[in-house]
Structure 1
Amino acid sequence: MADLIARSMAEEKRDKTVKITPADVDFVEKSNNIFNLYEKDNAVGYYLLNGALTAGAGYYTTHHIPCVSGKQYSIRYAETQFGAFYTAQGEFISKIGTTSGTSSPFTFTAPTGASTMRVCGQKNKMSSDAVVEGAIYPSSSSASSYYTRIRRPLLSSDNPLAGKRVLFNGDSITAGAGWPSTAVLSPRNNTGWGIVIAERNGMSAAGYAVSGGTIAAGTYQSNGTTPRHWICRDIVNMDENADFIIFQGGINDYWLSVPIGAITTSYTAAFDDTTFCGALECIFKQAQLRWKAKKIGYIVTFKVKNTFDLINQNKSELYWKKAREICEKWSVPFLDLFTSSGLNFGLSEIVNEFSQQNGGVGDGCHPTEAGYKEYLLPKIEAWMKTL
């Protein structure tokens, strides 16, 4: 019995610390930037003396950034109207300042009672602006790095996207039309959900989407002579070095009445890439040969205003039905946003709140920043992790 007690006591005293070396995990360096570029409460415009948002397409205003009374904070430089302080209850306290000019950096102190602040800046500098504690503004910073530098360590065993390279190709929805972000994915200067997914998961990324793009070839701009972006013939222009390759498109094919065509009965038949079916098969075959053993996926577009008829199914659903069948034939995973996005542009209230404004009315096709973030981005990100 004495030996058993002694062994038990020795076991309790044994150092059970798990030692982790840098090679074991992909730690991400923490940033001192307290401005989150992807926070949904960021807004277009700037603030006046009473703390109310004022329209201004060339400016942006941050979300409510926590601050501490008496502490100093620094921004890139001062604008005539560049922010306000608020209490914990959201009540306006005072303007951050009224200095005009380009003094860089500009340092200010949070007043008594301040719990949060909203800072303004030039919209074309939004992706590289920072708000930092203290009187020293970093010589270089990137607000777009907020997620990858501030979130918890990315463990390769925990996150299948971490450290991987992703390519996106599609139409204006993939390109981020309706999204105000100034951060872009080269080489086509894409914005939108692709950027956020890449940043949040420590991925490198490239965007190849073009507004007005079609799955099929043979479509033209309104002048009848300028070719549109033909996704099926753009594969050769995409980076061969990739781990994830995501395609989205088809709504323009519907609008332009591209012939649906037919699904071939083999994997070696010739494809008519001027039809929707032939072009999508062509995309998948090229992709599977170009990126062997990589993660290839297709996104079925959500319900776009006036493009679906749930009774007769004689509109865009015909294209989406063929897209699902082609994905199954080629064993390509697909995310069916038409049936499961939650973003229903069949409702005018949703259209006007969550799609790009055109003459004061939502266009029912291009989601706003909130539309992308609240409805699409979480589902796309979660789906990509399953590929």
Structure 2
Amino acid sequence: MTTHTIKFKRGIKSKLNKLAYGEPAYISDEGELYIGTENGVEKLTSNKEVKELSSQLENKANLNTVFSMANMGQDIKEAMTGGSVAVVGRNTILNENVVDKQITPSKTSFIDVENSVNLFNKNSREIQLGYYLDASGELKEYTSYFVGHKIYVNEGQTYTVSYAEPSWGGFYNSEGTFISKIGTPSGALRPFTFTVPEGACYMRLNGIISNMNTYMIVLGDSLPSQYVAFYENFTLNESVKIKDVVKLQKEYEYDIPLLQNRFVDSLNLFDKTSPEIILGSFITSASGDMSTSTSTAISPYMPVKPNEVYSFKFYPNIYGSNKNYAFYDRNKNPVEDVLNCVLDEETNVLTITVPNIDTIKYVRVNCSENDLDSFMFVKGETYPSEYISGNTVLRSNIDLNDLQKDTVSKIVNDILDTTHINSVSKLNNKVITFNGDSICAGAGYTGGYGKIIADKYNMTYENVAVSGGTITAETYSASGSARHWISRTISKMRDDADYIVLEGGVNDASLSIPLGEITSDYISTLDDTTYCGAFESMLKQALGKYPGKKIGYIMVHKMEKNFDSRYEDNHYQMSKKICEKWGIPYLDLNIECPPLNYIPSLKATYTKDGDGWHPNELGYKKYYVDKIVHWLESL
């Protein structure tokens, strides 16, 4: 058999500039094959590419290979998770790979989170004033409405909203796409209960701006009997130690003068960079009601103190005669009172005086959206002629980084505010109800010790006490009108209370109400027209209404012989014996408080108009509040 050798045209590339269509050639100086085409001379293959391809094929996994993270590209990892986040290996996430604001307190193992039953945060920056969502999820303008912030939900959950008009709100999926409306059935306006549909990730509800201060959204099919403010409490676990801050906290808690030497506040309390500024809105009343308009703005919450005077620029061309501003407590709930202000019509500087209400911690005022860079809110009647920055200065003799300075500043502000750290109290955010006489009602200071304690610990507060009240029933005033009978008003106290505080007896003692007898058992019929019968009835009712709750009785300071620890067989002694019989803890201020009615200097200083009976604000805070708090925390 004859063998024929086929040879390609060959030579160096510079000599083979032209090849016939389909004619191959070997280029010796490159070691590559070329061929003639319609478009000229083109290379057929590359030895280098063939070698690389061979190497890649050798490294590719065969059917028996187990794929690991190292085998997969980033695009495959993202595809596996729907593109939301790449699947990564262990110990492979760097700081820069974490999206800002995605690690929240609830996702950590070292921060404890406590949320209120009310899910609506009226101070959220997500709230859009002057708008509402229609039935198709479209955002529409309407001056008196607002669209609430996002509330994350789960399919099938039931929620109840306090004000369901206007009718529409909306459910959204995880990508932010509108799913369906939240509609109110005909005739069912408030409250309104609804169920989360399939595929919903979060919801936004409409509301009326004038109702914002009492607006509630709760999980479940019923609302609390009274308004509960939104809150989120974040507490570091005990395992977390911030040594420098703890040291500073202890140092400042007992040495306020030292504190004031370390921190210097700016004269201007207005921070133009604050995220709390609301553009396009303005305050319309002392209760913090808002409306919308162009060129307007509402300041952030600025710290103020009772009885102090503050000044700021007023804009009559924008607000006309509307000189409204609003005060707030430490939880940023409105504290309504008569506004006291004076306008200098030449300079347009408005000077305001903070009411003498110790729960007031902040103020918000109206300003101009176009004048934020030069706006000032200053303490005193003198408004600066030149702009002063609203930043707080930390003296250089504290060697901390910026984050630590911010943390310490917050702790310091809290100490200066109350000289007490409340974050660990058992009383925080609990519901408390009181029933008693004038000392409980607050005849010497509105709300009495109960309101002081409730405000301090952000407690939901109720007080059904009435001046002149007696524990015994069927007692009457000199005019013949019925007194407040504590033993017959237990049923009027709110059902959801965590703490139930009873007080009274001194009026019974002053009226020389017959003592009667303490029964020998727990089932006998009780005569509530005698002191002992009424007292037993009061405690028996409380125990029946509030099983497992914290119930206690307070004995007031010495002011009447029949309610005085120095004497036997009187109303005071019977009160102690009955509490001990029924197992009700009592706080004995008859012993633990000085006899305010019998010491002239104390009587003049610590009771209303020196009457010796009714503590004034100073008297409550000096002799009642701290003892009651310690007692309540021990229940």
Q: TM-score, normalised by structure 2?
A: 0.39
Give the letter aligned to residue 245 of structure 1.
I
Give the letter aligned to residue 459 of structure 2.
M
Q: 1:369 to 1:305 in 2, by over 3 A?
A: farther
In terms of mean alpha carbon deviation, does 346-355 or 99-108 score higher? Answer: 99-108
**Of the candidates 123, 130, 140, which is equivalent to residue 362 of structure 2?**
130
1:12 matched residue in structure 2: none
Distance 1:230 1:161 in 2: 28
1:235 matched residue in structure 2: 490
C-alpha deviations, 1:170-199, integer Å up to 9, x for none? 0000001111x4xxxxxxxxx121112112
Give the letter aligned to residue 494 of structure 2.
D
**Of the candidates 233, 239, 250, which is equivalent to residue 505 of structure 2?**
250
1:86 matched residue in structure 2: none
2:510·2:560 contact (CA, 8 Å) conserved in 1?
Answer: no
Give the letter aligned to residue 385 of structure 1.
E
C-alpha deviations, 1:26-84, integer Å up to 9, x for none? 8549xxxxxxxxxxxxxxxxxxxxxxxxxxxxxxxxxxxx984642569x99xxxxxxx
Superposition map of 1:318-337 within 5 A: 318-337=570-589
Q: 1:103 to 1:303 in 2, by over 3 A?
A: same
Residue 448 (structure 2) pairs with residue 215 (structure 1): no
TM-superposed deviation, 1:119: 6.8
**Of the candidates 444, 454, 458, which is equivalent to residue 202 of structure 1?**
458
Give the letter aligned to residue 242 of structure 1.
A
1:281·1:326 contact (CA, 8 Å) conserved in 2?
Answer: yes
1:72·1:107 contact (CA, 8 Å) conserved in 2?
Answer: no
Give the letter aligned to residue 169 of structure 1.
N
Residue 587 (structure 2) pairs with residue 365 (structure 1): no
Residue 598 (structure 2) pairs with residue 346 (structure 1): yes
2:438·2:468 contact (CA, 8 Å) conserved in 1?
Answer: yes
C-alpha deviations, 1:258-282, integer Å up to 9, x for none? 1111101100011110111110100
Corresponding pairs, count: 278
Residue 323 (structure 2) pairs with residue 103 (structure 1): yes
TM-superposed deviation, 1:214: 0.2
Distance 2:631 2:594 in 1: 15
TM-superposed deviation, 1:349: 1.2
1:168 matched residue in structure 2: 434
Distance 2:376 2:510 in 1: 55
Q: 1:308 to 1:99 in 2, by over 3 A?
A: farther
Q: 1:107 to 1:341 in 2, by over 3 A?
A: same
Residue 526 (structure 2) pairs with residue 271 (structure 1): yes
Distance 2:561 2:322 in 1: 48
2:359·2:455 contact (CA, 8 Å) conserved in 1?
Answer: no
TM-superposed deviation, 1:23: 2.9
Distance 2:617 2:358 in 1: 15
CA RMSD of aligned residues (A): 4.0
**Of the candidates 65, 71, 75, which is equivalent to residue 268 of structure 2?**
71
2:563·2:570 contact (CA, 8 Å) conserved in 1?
Answer: no
Distance 1:96 1:121 in 2: 8
Q: Percent identity?
A: 34
Give the letter aligned to residue 201 of structure 1.
Y
Hey, which of these two has a bigger chunk of strand by percent?
A: 2
1:271 counterpart SS class = coil
Q: 1:291 to 1:96 in 2, by over 3 A?
A: closer
Give the letter aligned to residue 253 of structure 1.
D
Superposition map of 1:25-44 within 5 A: 27-28=232-233
2:607·2:615 contact (CA, 8 Å) conserved in 1?
Answer: yes
Give the letter aligned to residue 120 of structure 1.
T
**Of the candidates 10, 23, 27, which is equivalent to residue 113 of structure 2?**
23
Give the letter aligned to residue 173 of structure 1.
I
TM-superposed deviation, 1:204: 1.1
TM-superposed deviation, 1:165: 1.1
TM-superposed deviation, 1:310: 7.5
Give the letter aligned to residue 228 of structure 1.
R
2:41 matched residue in structure 1: none
* Greater relative contact order structure (CA < 8 Å, 6+ sep): 1
Distance 1:319 1:196 in 2: 28
Residue 535 (structure 2) pairs with residue 280 (structure 1): yes
1:365 counterpart SS class = coil
Q: Which runs of 5+ in 1 are unaligned?
A: 1-17, 30-65, 78-94, 109-117, 138-145, 182-190
Q: Which runs of 5+ in 2 are unaligned?
A: 1-107, 116-230, 235-262, 272-282, 285-308, 315-320, 326-340, 344-350, 366-374, 379-412
1:385 counterpart SS class = helix
